[in-house]
Structure 1
Amino acid sequence: MSRRSSQTGLSGKAAERLRPLLESFLASTDARSRIAFDPVEFPHRYSDPRDIETSALLAAALAYGRADLFRPKVDGLLRRMGSSPAAFLRELDVAGARELLSGFVYRFNVGTDVAVLLLGMGKALREHGSLEALFVRGWEAHGSIHGALSDFTAALRDVPMAELRRALGKERGLHHLLPSPLGAGAAKRLNLYLRWMVRGPDAVDFGIWKRVPASALVIPLDTHIGRISQHLGLTRRKDLSWRTAEEVTASLRRLDEADPVRYDFALCHYGMSGVCPAKPVAENCVKCQLLPSCAVGPRITRARASSSGP
């Protein structure tokens, strides 16, 4: 799938109205305080780029469901890997994966699923030197994030499955953890991983992958970003598909062509924190800096005018 311009996204005039509001919103967001509520907290433990990229992919892959449930799983695995996850993975074999992951279960995933990811990362480090180099191979071949991610996940899954199944049992949710082929879904967690690696560096994102431009990134589309994007006119689509993610990103490129996903962290946490919930809360809406460009705005204004009486 290639990048394409939005057909029903943000117009030029709407972009001019929204841009200063989003810039002010972004400037007022205390990103550092929100890192503790985000899976990006795990790669922030490390300084070496190889440790950052490997711990980040593990964290992003398991970052679904409730944070209080996946955080202990990621934390436990990283602690058992020692001070350098990359060094651990370079040496990891099937026997080591069995020792690390025997009995592991997290929702859809069992130890075999995670073992594929870890062994795949170790193979990439040995053969290419970094996960970045493996991803860039697909990026240069396809020129699109979707194509590059498809090649990336396929390469990571190229591990000795028969031996792994004998050691840990059959996989259960491997496609959920590491989708291949990528398909029509938004691939939120993979796009989140790319955002961490490519854009920045700033308080949240690392910017350690220099060979992929931030302008090419696709927004990590989840329920929070999907809802807020509809409110702000970034898309009319209601599904959480790759096409919707592309449309939202195309709208955001009207605001910042070089770095369209720079608003993602602030907007996502605005929804995650409960300040902008699925059912609008008038007291929150009237304080929101984005209200003048929000589709909820007129309804909130009318409701308040009606409640205040003549």
Structure 2
Amino acid sequence: MPPRSSPSTGLSPSDARRLLPCLTSFMASTDSRARIAFDPLEFPRRYENPRDIEVAGLLAAALAYGRADLFRPKVDALLQRMGRSPAAFVRELDVAGARELLGGFVYRFNVGTDVAVLLLGMGRALREHGSLEALFVQGLETRGSWHGALDAFTTALRDVPMEPLRRALGPERGLQHLLPSPLGAGAAKRLNLYLRWMVRGPDGVDLGIWKRVRPSALLIPLDTHIGRISKHLGLTRRNDLSWRTAEEVTASLRVLDAEDPVRFDFALCHYGMSGVCPTRPVRENCARCLLRPACSIGRETVKAGRARATP
């Protein structure tokens, strides 16, 4: 269930004044173009038509878990077989087509039946609503909250006849992991990542093709990297990777930028993924980090290193 109380923010005005220039310099130093090659965002960026972008994006985000060198070939192979227009492909997709595309498909927790539900659900959404954006906005207007909108979105996508799919492809295995419904108390990282791609921008990172949703409404795509760095920067006091924690981090980021709070996500996440900011701090890395003036762990690590070096 979504949290019942408003999220708190661990960021004081003085913390915000210290953190914002650090984050601004940090983002300016990030080579976003180079990092996109290592990000599932590369897949929707291949397309120009908004409907192709949103279909390719949701498929890529849904499968973007585990090691990038393992999920990227899976996504790439599916998109290649779906042809020049993923949107046209899913609009016309039926159970026989799903069996042809996904027979034998396995990626970690997911099998072909799981992915078939996602593709058939997107096809139905395009036929009935015209776009995935329209489906999401309907849930946002009906439910009135971000959590409720996402829950309505995934529930609608999963509303496909299962027995014909099971006969064609076998039983589902990780459908709740691929497309959670009900959404639950988790941070829904990959779904919020997808929404960031669709809503923010267009800029050097995100695509900004959804015009009916404001970037200010986005929730941070919370994973282990963002969770760890957010704690170091004072954006949250929480230790778990829950929806509540994502709300608290986002509330702190809104103190820095009320209109576009998740613009910092791409740079921070890739910083954690790069290994430069590991779970156990490395003094040499902390000493060079542009975020150190605002980072409690970085300051302590460098201070401790200097103390040990003093005779």
TM-score, with normalisation over the residues of structure 2?
0.97
In structure 2, give the amino acid aligned to 1:224.
H
Question: Which structure 2 residue ranges, 5 or more long, are not aligned?
Answer: none
Post-superposition Cα deviations, 1:228-261, rounded to whole Å, max 9, x if no partner, equal 0000000010100000000000000000000000
1:269 aligned partner, one-letter code:
H
Q: Structure 2 matches for 1:144-293, cutoff 5 A?
A: 144-293=145-294
- How far 1:5 moved relative to its partner? 4.7
Aligned pairs for 1:96-175 (under 5 A) are 96-175=97-176
Separation in 2, partners of 1:117, 1:218 = 22
Spell out, residue by residue over 1:87-106, the C-alpha distance to the aligned partner (whole angstroms, 9 max, x if none): 11110001100000000000
Q: Which moved more, 1:217-226 or 1:19-28?
A: 19-28
Misfit runs of 4+, over 3 Å: 1-6
* TM-score, with structure 1 as normaliser: 0.98
Indicate if the aligned counterparts of 1:31 and 1:266 stay in contact, CA closer than 8 A. yes
* Amino acid paired to 2:98: A
CA–CA distance in structure 1, aligned partners of residues 249 and 138 of structure 2: 26
State the identity as a percent: 77
Q: Distance in 1 between matches of 2:274 and 2:179?
A: 27
Report the counterpart of residue 65 of structure 2 in structure 1: 64
Give how far 1:48 is off.
Answer: 0.5
Alignment of 1:32 onto 2:33: yes
Measured in 2, the distance between the counterparts of 1:83 and 1:282 equals 48
SS at match of 1:148: helix
Q: CA deviation at 1:295?
A: 1.1
Which residue is equivalent to 1:76?
Answer: 77
- Describe the superposition over 1:7-65 as per-residue Cα deviations: whole angstroms up to 9, x where unpaired: 35211211111011111111111101100110000001101100000000000000000
Alpha-carbon contact 2:3-2:244 (below 8 Å) kept: no
Q: Which amino acid aligns with 1:155?
A: A
Are 2:49 and 1:48 equivalent residues in the alignment? Answer: yes
Give 1:3 shift. Answer: 8.8
- 8 A contact 1:139–1:147 mirrored in 2: yes
Q: Contact (CA 8 Å) 2:281, 2:298: kept in 1 or not?
A: no
Aligned length: 310
Q: For each residue in 1:93-134, what CA deviation from the matched residue of structure 2 results, as whole angstroms up to 9, or x when unmatched?
A: 011000000000000000000000000000001111110011
